[in-house]
Structure 1
């Protein structure tokens, strides 16, 4: 399993940020080729500006599928806007035992 952690600072309109996150996660949950294979979570740090995104997927094919969808391209553009450029992104293998998503 692979994953990515994305971080950036955002202090703009909270409703716009929440709407973009919800739209993306809803799109994943409504995509039959991604549901159960691609998971995405977001969080706001205690400083109310630092944003964390965690994505996990089961295969390169699933990632390629999600990245080829219009909803992903829209979301990636929004994240760049929120981050004021390119956010920090770190890919990683998930090899430790977990209790699920």
Structure 2
């Protein structure tokens, strides 16, 4: 399983940010090629400004499918806009995972 961690600082319009995240996650869940194969979580740190996104997928094909969708092509530039110069991304292999949610 592969993954990405995205971190940045954001102190803009919270309603717009939340709507953008919600729309993306709902689109993933509605995509029959991605549902259950691509997961996405987002957190706001205790400081209220630091944001962390975690994406995980089961295969290169699943990732390619998600990246080719209009919902991804709308989402990725918005995250870059929200993050400005603070955006960092780290790709990684998931080697151990607990069971549960």
Shorter-normalised TM range: over 0.9
Q: Determine the structure 2 residue equivalent to 1:17.
A: 17
Kindly report structure 1 stretches of 4+ aligned residues shifted beyond 4 Å: none
CA–CA distance in structure 2, aligned partners of residues 86 and 66 of structure 1: 24
CA–CA distance in structure 1, aligned partners of residues 39 and 24 of structure 2: 11
Range 13-22 or range 84-93, more displaced: 84-93
CA–CA distance in structure 1, aligned partners of residues 25 and 82 of structure 2: 17
CA–CA distance in structure 2, aligned partners of residues 22 and 93 of structure 1: 25
Q: Determine the structure 1 residue equivalent to 2:58.
A: 58
Q: Determine the structure 1 residue equivalent to 2:92.
A: 92
Q: Determine the structure 1 residue equivalent to 2:5.
A: 5
TM-score (normalizing by structure 1) = 0.95
Deviation at 1:91, TM superposition (A): 0.4
Higher helix share: 2
Count of aligned residue pairs for this structure pair: 101
